[in-house]
């Protein structure tokens, strides 16, 4: 009967499965690390990973700004961080309803940050009063408010739908259609959608 030590000694490294590790560097380069046998023992080899088909990361900026009302705009964080877009739209106030997105121009614009998580069980209606007060204050100062989250798709659109229902007495369907017309890419998450459908200001 073989002892474990004999089995280990008789084991050939060639029988080991070749492993490779996919690595993305901080600069975005994709490498494949492979271990191989060299003259001086085992060495690591790094090879640039070939781009295959499948998921393609969209690195283009979304600078589309939807005009819900002359004083009320909807966009992504890209537009909120773009000085040209802000100047072009005469933005004076920014309502940031994202989580972990900075306000880059505090000396030039009036900011309000409301940290909202884009999760179906987040109570979106509990934030509407606070957000509406800021929008109305900006309007009283003849300002233009840009409302944004990360993508300008779920949280910020939900806040604006709720605002129109709360302040203008629109039904959910009317408010949704008007915000969708201003920015066609909007898509409140299912939880926000249901909450706003049942919202009674």
**Domain contains 124:** yes
Range 64-86 average pLDDT: 96
**Domain contains 56:** no
Whether residue 12 has pLDDT greater than 70: no
Whether residue 63 has pLDDT greater than 60: yes
State the pLDDT at residue 33: 57
**Domain contains 131:** yes
Q: Which of 53, 131, 149, 187 is catalytic?
A: 149
Co-location of 97 and 170 in the same domain? yes
**Domain contains 53:** no
Structure-model confidence comparison of residues 17 and 176, the more confident one: 176
Co-location of 164 and 94 in the same domain? yes
What's the domain count of the chain?
2
User: Whole-prediction pTM value?
Assistant: 0.71
Co-location of 88 and 171 in the same domain? yes
Contact by Cβ (8 Å): 117, 100: no
Q: Give the distance from CA 92 to its chain's centroid.
A: 23
Co-location of 156 and 101 in the same domain? yes
Co-location of 95 and 183 in the same domain? yes
State the pLDDT at residue 62: 86
**Domain contains 59:** no
Which residue range(s) make up the domain with 28? 4-48
Co-location of 102 and 29 in the same domain? no
Range 35-62 average pLDDT: 52
Range 48-74 average pLDDT: 72
> Kindly report the CA angle at 103 between 97 and 106, in degrees rounded to 5?
130
Distant-in-sequence, close-in-space partners of 46: CB < 8 Å, separation ≥ 6:
23, 31, 32, 33
Spatial separation of the C-alpha atoms in residues 102 and 195, rounded to whole Å: 28
State the pLDDT at residue 61: 87
State the pLDDT at residue 55: 42
Assess whether 187 carries a catalytic annotation.
no
Spatial separation of the C-alpha atoms in residues 91 and 32, rounded to whole Å: 46
Confidence class of residue 56 from pLDDT cuts 50, 70 and 90?
very low
**Domain contains 58:** no
**Domain contains 146:** yes
Spatial separation of the C-alpha atoms in residues 106 and 103, rounded to whole Å: 7
Whether residue 135 has pLDDT greater than 60: yes
Whether residue 137 has pLDDT greater than 50: yes
Range 30-38 average pLDDT: 56
């Amino acid at each position: 009967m073989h002892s474990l030590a004999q089995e280990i000694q008789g084991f050939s490294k060639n029988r080991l499965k070749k492993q490779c590790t996919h690595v993305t560097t901080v600069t975005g380069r994709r490498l494949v690390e492979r271990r191989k046998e060299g003259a001086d023992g085992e060495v690591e080899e790094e090879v640039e990973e070939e781009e295959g088909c499948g998921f393609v990361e969209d690195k283009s900026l979304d600078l589309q700004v939807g005009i819900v009302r002359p004083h009320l705009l909807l966009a992504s964080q890209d537009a909120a961080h773009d000085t040209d877009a802000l100047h072009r739209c005469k933005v004076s106030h920014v309502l940031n309803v994202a989580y972990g997105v900075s306000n880059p121009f505090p000396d030039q614009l009036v900011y309000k940050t409301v940290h909202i998580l884009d999760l179906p069980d987040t109570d979106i209606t509990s934030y509407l009063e606070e957000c509406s007060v800021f929008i109305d204050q900006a309007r009283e100062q003849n300002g233009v408010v840009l409302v944004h989250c990360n993508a300008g798709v779920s949280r910020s659109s939900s806040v604006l739908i709720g605002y129109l229902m709360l302040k203008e007495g629109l039904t959910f369907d009317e408010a949704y259609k008007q915000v969708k017309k201003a920015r066609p890419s909007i898509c409140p998450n299912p939880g926000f959608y249901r909450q706003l459908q049942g919202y009674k200001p």
